[in-house]
């Protein structure tokens, strides 16, 4: 049973009430049972392998001894703690499913949000770390010659790593061997332990491997300015100095790493030089001192590295600072350091300072799974993830990149078909003609190129060949082919409202705090919002994400820029009649996805003796039962159409209908306090 705490609650309810009143067992994505495509495999990993994620036996024992529930749903103490952990995992599973279906940054945001809530404590502590990457990319990258998205890219990388772990028995064995976990997959406890460890530390590695890009972007902006004027790269460059503020370890951190490694490290640079040398030094012929020297020069002397700034250095150091702040120094262990060293290695360090993979005479062996499992997976997935990436740079916007991909991971291999936009057929046909002529002419000079299509289509197979030089694919063969198909961008749901992630979070906080006094501090509104369970936070976020769609339907938009349009201070009943049914549909489908069912048992089952039905205590009991049964009188079961849901909405009482639109009016009053955001009418 995939969600064991939910099943335990169902059995307890059956015992207590004498019939099956729920909760229902969440349903795995329909294709996920045995298929080996990207979506099926990654979701199956979360659904089946990660049972009992973050369960706490001590808390469960305390609940039983004291007769109290310590889990939070809509409110604290409504459900068992482990049931809350099960629902948190379900939130991550469904967030990933939404992202795979859409590929949009707003859905990538949900995956980050779930991960941080589950493994870092709560999103609010770390939101600036992930939001700034997106803000820098969307606002600053258009000044570059070459740059593509790294925000959604990182979630795709994360997804790839889950799918490969799920389908590749060799990698699972190597990972377990490396971390001293039994490799017999018939022993479910060991398999579950390994999967949960992998989810936590692979997630840390994949989702945050590019958060150092805000340090690289200014460097590249200067380079781009001079490249545009046809100056040689490096004629002017910037470098970072006095980076102790980022790398220096405090006394408590030094004590923690002394405890772990019996060594005193003054900085994260020292720590990671040690870790990388311990893992790879003997095989690749370098010392800890040599690695420390390379790492110290990365940010301060880019001229010694081809005039490139390595964002991986800053990603690793920035993530370490976030670990200190969010999970605490005492909680940092060896696997956290493994994630940091994997990130440090992934960009240029391994390729150009360790293996020299492009040096035909001196190139060294590619990285093996058993050398560093997390670094191996990151390098592999980072290279494979080249589809559906927003192009920001001036040259990148005109280059030909794959827009989609079909993966099949059967047989411990990677079979990938990358699709290019059929609207670019003229470019592709011209390249193929030029390439054939080059072959017929004796292959003199350099082969014609059409990045990235040519790297997959030409006989040299540069794309796959380069990956094989970086990571050892003898135990995970690659089969890469290109193809073309019609582009479909409808699922991107792009609207006029200029959305960013600061706005999403502010919308959600405003929606939840809409009943508060106007003088309530924003920090208090955020505290109240973050006290909700992850499920209810995400539900509010999804309502906020839908806001741009609702505004589009009533010819309105929001922006933080001053514009010459009529400002909206309140929605009219006529406007509400348009978007309220849309909001009701979102609510219905969100609840269906999260396994809620239609029911009224929480209201109709007999109350304990001497409790009046209309009392506050009775209301509290009914609310808790609703959360424990995961049924709701307004939910709908089965396959329902938009029209079915609209009819359902129209059948509701005025009071229930108001729930779908009045919160947005209350929210308008609060939004002015966040980022200067305003809503305007087009007509």
In this structure, the answer to whether residues 456 and 505 fall within a common structural domain is: no
Q: Hey, how many other C-beta atoms are within 10 angstroms of the C-beta on 566?
A: 11
Which pLDDT band holds residue 10 (cuts at 50, 70, 90)? very high
DSSP string, 406-417: EEE-GGG-EEEE
Report the pLDDT value the prediction gives residue 392, as an integer from 0 to 100: 44
Residue 432 lies inside a defined structural domain of this protein: yes
Token reading at 52: 């009992």
Q: Which comes out higher in pLDDT, residue 657 or 51?
A: 51
pLDDT for position 516:
72
* Token pair for 35: 């298929």
Indicate if 337 and 245 belong to the same structural domain: yes
Report residue 163 as tokens.
Answer: 């799918």
Provide the pLDDT for residue 384.
96
Same domain, 569 and 542: yes
Q: Is residue 268 in a domain?
A: yes
pLDDT band at 20 (very low <50, low <70, confident <90, very high): very high
| Number of continuous H segments (helices) and E segments (strands) in the chain | 31, 8
What percent of the chain clears pLDDT 90, i.e. is strictly above it? 63
| Domain of 266, in residue numbers | 150-385
**pLDDT digit string (tens) for 419-442?**
999 988 888 888 889 888 888 888
User: Is the domain of 456 the same as that of 519?
Assistant: no
**Is 490's pLDDT higher than 70?**
no
DSSP H or E run through 71:
none
- Asked if residue 237 and residue 190 are part of one domain, the reply reads yes
Structure-block tokens of residue 462: 């540069």
pLDDT band at 141 (very low <50, low <70, confident <90, very high): very low
**Do 524 and 443 fall within a single domain?**
no
Q: What is the pLDDT of residue 27?
A: 92
Domain boundary residue, one of 352, 385, 418? 385
pLDDT at 395: 44
Do 272 and 161 fall within a single domain? yes
Q: Identify the pLDDT of residue 230.
A: 54
Quick check: is 235 in a domain? Answer: yes
In this prediction, residue 34 carries a pLDDT of 84
Mean pLDDT of 622-629: 97
Q: Does residue 68 belong to any structural domain of this protein? A: no
Dihedral angle over CA of 463, 466, 467, 473, nearest 10: 110
> Which alpha helices (H) appear in 369-484, and where do they start and end?
373-384, 425-440, 453-457, 462-470
Mean pLDDT of 284-304: 97
The lowest-confidence range among 175-179, 539-543, 672-676 is: 672-676
Do the domain assignments include residue 43?
Answer: no
Q: Looking at the structure, tell me whether residues 258 and 345 fall in a common domain.
A: yes
- The answer to whether residue 148 scores a pLDDT higher than 60 is no
658 in any annotated domain: yes
Please report the pLDDT score of residue 665 as a whole number: 81
DSSP, collapsed to helix, strand or coil, labels residue 652 as coil
Tokens of 136: 């820098």
pLDDT score, position 492: 54
Question: Could you give the CA distance from residue 214 to residue 25 in angstroms, rounded to a whole number?
Answer: 43
Single residue among 355, 385, 415 that ends a domain in this structure: 385
Residue located via tokens 């970072």: 240
Q: Is residue 396's pLDDT more than 50?
A: no
Give the CB-side neighbour count of residue 37, counting CA atoms within 13 A. Answer: 10
In a domain, 630, yes or no: no
The confidence score (pLDDT) of residue 546 equals: 87
Mean pLDDT, range 266-275, rounded to an integer: 98
Average pLDDT over residues 147-162: 85
Q: Are residues 540 and 657 in the same domain?
A: yes
Most confident of 28-32, 246-250, 357-361, 566-570: 246-250
The pLDDT confidence band at residue 390, using thresholds 50, 70 and 90, is low
The pLDDT score that the predictor gives to residue 435 is: 87
Q: With bands split at pLDDT 50, 70 and 90, how would you rate the model's confidence at 394?
A: very low
Using DSSP's 3-state secondary structure scheme, residue 434 falls into helix
CA distance 11 to 589: 26
Report the number of distinct structural domains present in the chain.
Answer: 3
Largest CA distance in the chain: 95
Query: Are 519 and 479 in the same domain?
Result: no
Per the model's pLDDT, the better-predicted residue between 89 and 445 turns out to be 89
Three-state DSSP class for residue 524? helix
Q: What is the pLDDT of residue 521?
A: 84
Q: Is residue 620 part of a domain?
A: no
Q: Are residues 359 and 450 in the same domain?
A: no
Predicted TM-score of the model (pTM): 0.93
Pair (272, 174) in one structural domain: yes
Task: Give the end of a domain, one of 456, 485, 514.
Answer: 485
Helix axes 105-115, 534-545, angle to 10 degrees: 170
pLDDT of residue 522: 79
């Amino acid at each position: 049973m995939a969600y064991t705490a939910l099943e335990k609650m169902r059995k307890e309810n059956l015992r207590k009430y004498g019939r099956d009143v729920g909760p229902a067992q969440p349903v795995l994505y329909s294709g996920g049972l045995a298929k080996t495509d990207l979506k099926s495999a990654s979701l199956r990993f979360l659904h089946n392998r990660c049972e009992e994620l973050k369960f706490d036996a001590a808390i469960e024992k305390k609940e039983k001894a004291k007769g109290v529930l310590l889990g939070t749903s809509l409110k604290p103490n409504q459900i068992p703690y482990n049931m809350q952990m099960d629902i948190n995992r379900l939130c991550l599973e469904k967030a990933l499913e939404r992202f795979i279906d859409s590929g949009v940054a707003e859905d990538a945001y949900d995956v980050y949000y779930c991960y941080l809530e589950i493994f870092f404590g709560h999103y609010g502590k770390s939101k600036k770390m992930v939001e700034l990457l997106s803000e820098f990319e969307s606002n600053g990258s258009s000044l570059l010659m070459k740059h593509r998205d790294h925000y959604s890219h990182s979630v795709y990388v994360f997804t790839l790593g889950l799918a490969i772990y799920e389908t590749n028995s060799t990698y699972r064995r190597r990972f377990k061997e490396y971390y001293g976990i039994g490799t017999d997959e018939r022993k479910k406890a060991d398999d579950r332990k390994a999967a949960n460890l992998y989810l936590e530390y692979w997630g840390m590695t994949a989702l945050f491997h590019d958060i150092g890009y805000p340090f690289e972007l200014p460097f590249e902006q200067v380079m781009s300015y001079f490249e545009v004027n046809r100056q040689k790269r490096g004629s002017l460059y910037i470098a970072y100095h006095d980076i102790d503020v980022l790398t220096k370890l405090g006394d408590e951190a030094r004590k923690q790493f002394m405890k772990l490694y019996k060594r005193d490290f003054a900085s994260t640079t020292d720590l990671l030089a040690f870790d990388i040398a311990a893992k790879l030094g003997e095989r690749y012929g370098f010392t800890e001192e040599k690695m420390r020297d390379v790492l110290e020069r990365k940010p301060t002397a880019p001229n010694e590295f081809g005039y490139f700034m390595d964002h991986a250095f800053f990603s690793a150091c920035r993530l370490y600072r976030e670990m200190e702040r969010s999970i605490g120094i005492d909680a940092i262990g060896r696997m956290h350091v493994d994630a940091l060293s994997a990130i440090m290695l992934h960009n240029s360090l391994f390729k150009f300072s360790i293996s020299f993979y492009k040096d035909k005479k001196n190139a060294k062996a590619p990285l093996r799974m058993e050398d560093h499992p997390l670094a191996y997976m990151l390098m592999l997935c980072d290279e494979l993830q080249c589809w559906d990436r927003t192009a920001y740079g001036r040259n990148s916007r005109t280059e030909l990149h794959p827009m989609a991909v079909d993966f099949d991971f059967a047989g411990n291999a990677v079979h990938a078909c990358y699709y290019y936009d059929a609207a670019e057929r003229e470019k592709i046909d011209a390249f193929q003609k030029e390439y054939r002529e080059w072959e017929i002419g004796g292959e003199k000079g350099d082969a014609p190129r059409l990045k990235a299509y040519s790297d997959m289509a030409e006989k040299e197979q540069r794309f796959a060949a380069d990956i094989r030089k970086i990571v050892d694919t003898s135990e995970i063969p690659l089969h890469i082919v290109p193809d073309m198909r019609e582009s479909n961008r409808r699922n991107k749901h792009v609207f006029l409202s200029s959305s960013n992630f600061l706005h999403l979070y502010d919308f959600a906080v405003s929606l939840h705090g809409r009943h508060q006094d106007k003088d309530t501090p924003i920090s208090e509104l955020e505290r109240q919002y973050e006290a909700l369970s992850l499920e209810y936070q995400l539900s509010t976020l999804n309502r906020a994400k839908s806001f741009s769609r609702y505004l589009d339907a009533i010819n309105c938009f929001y922006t933080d820029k001053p514009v010459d349009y009529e400002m909206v201070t309140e929605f009219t009943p006529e406007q509400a009649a348009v978007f309220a049914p849309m909001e009701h549909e979102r609510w219905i489908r969100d609840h269906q996805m999260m396994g809620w069912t239609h029911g009224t048992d929480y209201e109709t089952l007999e109350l304990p003796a001497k409790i009046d039905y209309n009392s506050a205590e009775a209301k509290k009991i009914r609310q808790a039962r609703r959360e424990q049964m995961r049924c709701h009188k307004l939910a709908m079961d089965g396959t329902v159409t938009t029209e079915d849901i609209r009819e359902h909405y129209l059948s509701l009482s005025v009071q229930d209908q108001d729930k779908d639109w009045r919160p947005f009016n209350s929210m308008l009053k609060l939004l002015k306090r966040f980022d200067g955001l305003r809503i305007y009418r087009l007509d």
